[in-house]
Amino acid sequence: MEFHNNLSTIMKTVMKSHESIIRKVCEELNVNDELIVNELVVKLLDTSFNSVKAKKDPNRVKKPLSAYLFFCQDKRKEIQENNPGKRMGDISKILGNMWKELTEIEKLKYNDQREEDVERYENER
């Protein structure tokens, strides 16, 4: 994986060098139309390579959720039903405002869930 990413970085450097050569040749041939030059660069250079991300381990232990995320899981469906047609961003804003308005006593339920999840995480790690 690391080798491929290093190779990808090298290839990008080589491509930049080749692109500058193509641009210099066009300049020598008095091709001043930037559209034609860009077309040549795309046509002559293969830029289909990408760096590869390491695959995530499907068996890894999930990190514990925050109290806020437990709150969102609990209330999201209710908010969506009460606000049909709202986008996810709007729903998230409503949830955020509701969380801010909760008292510490109301948040206690979600903080307890978080503590249980932290314990689960520590045991599974």
Do 114 and 71 lie in one domain? The reply is yes
Do 115 and 76 lie in one domain? The reply is yes
Give pLDDT, residue 122: 94
> Phi and psi dihedrals of 58, rounded to 5?
-70, -20
pLDDT digits (tens, 9 = 90+) for 73-82: 999 999 999 9
CB 71 within 8 A of CB 111: no
DSSP result, 109-125: HHHHHHHHHHHHHHHH-
Instruction: Read off the pTM.
Output: 0.57
49 part of a folded domain: no
Q: Which domain holds residue 108?
A: 67-124
Whether the pLDDT of residue 5 is over 70: the answer is: no
pLDDT digits (tens, 9 = 90+) for 66-114: 999 999 999 999 999 999 999 999 999 999 999 999 999 999 999 999 9
59 part of a folded domain: no
CB 70 within 8 A of CB 110: yes
Give pLDDT, residue 105: 96
